[in-house]
Amino acid sequence: MAALEADRNKFEKAGAEILAINPASVKSHDNYCDKKGFSFTILSDPDKTVTGHYEALKALGKLVQRTVYVIGPDCDIIFAEKGMPADDEILTAIENHK
């Protein structure tokens, strides 16, 4: 996530907004972003509804698997990868979708 913050300007130039999602509380996310210096928003999904919908849960559905999705302006998924792909891969997917 630190790499995403470091490349935030590149994402903004590409017309992309960085959002993260995690089951922790909003307060916990705010504290984490303050501690790490992140300027993007981490959304709270305490019931794991969204993370489940995007198949970002590990076995048994108890833990979240880091997964990156890029959603285009038309709401289509234009990039999806488990783990943390390089920012350049994500940016290439955004540029190729334009």
What does the pLDDT look like over 2-33, one tens digit per residue?
A: 888 999 999 999 988 898 999 999 999 999 99
Helix (H) or strand (E) holding 71: strand 67-71
Render pLDDT for 37-64 as a digit per residue (tens, 0 to 9).
Answer: 999 899 999 999 999 998 899 888 788 8
CATH number of the domain to which 40 belongs: 3.40.30.10
pTM confidence score:
0.80
**What is the domain range of residue 87?**
2-97
Number of domains in the chain: 1
Model confidence over 72-91: pLDDT tens digits? Answer: 888 889 999 999 899 999 99
Burial of 46 (0-12, 13-18, 19+ CB in 10 A): exposed
- The overall average pLDDT reported for the chain is 90
**Residue type for position 29:** H
End-to-end CA distance of the chain: 24
Please say whether the beta carbons of 82 and 75 come within 8 A: no
